[in-house]
Chain A
Amino acid sequence: MLFKRNPQLNANGELIHLLSIEGLPKAVLAQILDTAGTFLSVNEREVKKVPLLRGKSVFNLFFENSTRTRTTFEIAAKRLSADVINLDIARSSTAKGESLLDTIANLSAMHADMFVVRHSESGAPYLIAQHCAPHVHVVNAGDGRHAHPTQGLLDMYTIRHYKRDFTKLTVAIVGDIVHSRVARSDIHALTTLGVPEIRAVGPKTLVPGDLREMGVRVCHDMAEGIRGVDVIIMLRLQNERMSGAMLPSAGEFFKNYGLTPEKLALAKPDAIVMHPGPINRGVEIDSAVADGAHSVILPQVTFGIAVRMAVMSIIAGNNA
C-alpha cells in the first residue's frame, strides 16, 4: 500500500478518533454539526442526560493547562452518562519521568474507553491513537500549534447558527495566528465547508505569509482585513508561547489590531464577533465589543458542550 488511510476514519469512512479537521470530508463535518444541534436541545430538557456512553470511562488527559476546554469536555461526557476521570498530568507521572506511551498503557490497564488529550507537543494525540487498543477512541483537545478540532467545530456551529449558509461568507481571523491551533483548525473547516473568502489579519510577526498556500488572504492592515466581513474571529495574544521580541508591546498591538467599536463599524452591520477565550480585555478586544450586541462569545461556550457531546457520541458508536 502506498499511502495510509486517514487515521481518524475506519475502513467505512466513519469517524473513530478526532485528531484534526484537516482531511475530514464535508459530510463528516456536517454530521457532527447536525448531531450537535440535537444535543443542544437535550440541554434544555428536564433531564439533561442521555445514556449513550453509560458504562464508558472517559479520561481527560491535560498535559497542558486548560479550564474551559477541560470543563466543557467533562460536562459533555457527563451529559452522555460516561464516567469522567480528570488527570492533571502536568503535575503527576510525567513530572516523574514516565513516557507518554507508558502513561497511556497504564491508563488503558484501568479500562479507559476514550482519551481526551491536550498536549504542548504537536502530534501527541496521533501517537496515542496509533498505540491504543482498537476499542479506545482519542479526541484531540489541542496539540501544540497544530490543531484544536473541537474548537474549530464549535466555531463552525456558531457561524452556521447565526449565518446559515457558509458559501456566501467572508470571515476574518484576527491576531496571533502563528501560535494559534484554533486558527489552523478554523481555516481547514471553513475551507471544507465552502467559505469563499478567509482573511488572516495581524502583524507580520504573527501572521505567516505561507498561509496564502492554504487559500487565505493575508492582511497586515486591520481596516483592510475586517472591511465588509460577516464574521470576525478574534484570537488571544499567546504571551506564554512567545519568545523574543515578536511584538513591541500589548498596548501597541491593541492600537493597531485590537477590536474596538470604531474598527467593528467597518464590518457588515450584522457581523458577529467570536473569540475562543480566554479573552484579554484591552489587549485584543475592547470591553465594549466583547460585551456588545455583535458578540457571540458566550453562546460559543454553550455550543461547545453540544459539539463535544456530538463528537464523543459519534466516535464511541463507530468501531475501528
Chain B
Amino acid sequence: MSTLHLDAEALYADLLAGVRTLLQPGSALVGIWSGGAWLAERLQRDLKLAGEHGVISSALHRDDFGSRGLSSGADHTRLPFEVEGCHIVLIDDVLFTGRTTRAAVNELFDFGRPASVTLAVLVDRGGRELPIQPAFSAARVALPRGQRLSLARDEAGHFSFDIKETT
C-alpha cells in the first residue's frame, strides 16, 4: 500500500510554467503516447500555440520487442508539421528508465532531422538505465521498481495518477 500522494493537476500547472521557458521560435510540442500526448494537447491549448501538437509512439523502436512482442499504440504517431529543422519539446508523463524516451527519439528521427530535442516531464521517478535527462520535471519522486506510475485522464479532462503493483 502506497501512501504517496501526487496532485497531478498541481504538477500540471508547474509543467505549464516550465515548458513556457523551454519554448523558442520554431518550437513544436510532441507528446509521447498516451499520457504525454494528453499533456501536450492541453499544453498546446493553454500556451495558445499556433497549429497542432504532435503525438509520437515508441512502439516500433522498443528494445523489449524480443521478449514482449509488438506493443499496442504503434499507429498513434502523428506529426502535423515539418520535423526537419524544428525545435522539438518532447512531453511525457513519467520518466523512469529512459528507454521509452530513447525509442520515441528514434521514431522522431524517422521523420526528419530536428534542430534540437528537449524533454519535459510531469514526474521524474529516477531509476535511469540510459544517459537521458529532462530539461524540466515538475516533481521528483522515488518509487519501488515494482510499482508502475502512469497518468490517467477523466471525462472532464482532469489528470490524476494511477499506481499499480507489477510482478
Contacts and interface: CB of A to CB of B under 8 A. Distances in A.
Interface of A: 14, 34-35, 37-38, 41-42, 45-47, 49-52, 313-314, 317-318
Interface stretch (B29-37, B107-115, B156-164): B107-115
Contacts of A35: 70, 74
Given A41-B75, A46-B110, A314 B60 contact: no
A38 B74 contact: yes
B68 interface: yes
A51 B60 CA distance: 7
The A interface, classified by DSSP as helix, strand, loop or mixed, is loop
B65 interface: yes
A46 B111 contact: yes
Given A46-B112, A50-B61, A52-B60, 6 more contacts: A14-B69, A35-B74, A45-B111, A47-B109, A47-B110, A317-B66
Given A34-B75, A38-B75, A41-B75, A52 B70 contact: yes
Nearest to B79: A45
30 contacts: A14-B69, A34-B75, A35-B70, A35-B74, A38-B60, A38-B74, A38-B75, A41-B77, A42-B60, A42-B110, A45-B110, A45-B111, A46-B111, A46-B112, A47-B109, A49-B110, A50-B61, A51-B60, A51-B61, A51-B106, A52-B65, A52-B70, A313-B70, A314-B70, A317-B65, A317-B66, A317-B68, A317-B69, A317-B70, A318-B69
Q: Select the residue from B59, B109, B110 with max chain A CB neighbours within 10 A.
A: B110
Contacts of B112: 46
Contacts, number: 40
Interface string B132-164: 000000000000000000000000000000000
A41 B75 CA distance: 8
Interface in B14-64: 59-61
A70 B136 CA distance: 49
Contacts of A47: 109-111
B69 A314 contact: yes
Contacts of A50: 60-61, 110
Interface of B: 59-61, 65-66, 68-70, 74-75, 77, 106, 109-112
A47 B106 CA distance: 11
Contacts of B60: 38, 42, 50-52
A314 B71 CA distance: 10
Nearest to A55: B66
Contacts of A318: 69
A269 B109 CA distance: 44
Q: Select the residue from B60, B68, B111 with max chain A CB neighbours within 10 A.
A: B60
A45 B57 CA distance: 14
Nearest to A48: B110
Contacts of B61: 50-51
Contacts of B69: 14, 314, 317-318
Contacts of A42: 60, 110
A113 to B, nearest CB: 11
Contacts of A37: 75
A313 B66 CA distance: 10
A238 to B, nearest CB: 35
A37 B73 CA distance: 12
A37 B77 CA distance: 12
A37 B110 CA distance: 17
A268 to B, nearest CB: 30
A37 B72 CA distance: 13
A268 B68 CA distance: 45
A3 B65 CA distance: 32
Q: Select the residue from B59, B65, B112 with max chain A CB neighbours within 10 A.
A: B65
A170 to B, nearest CB: 30
A38 B107 CA distance: 13
A318 B69 CA distance: 6
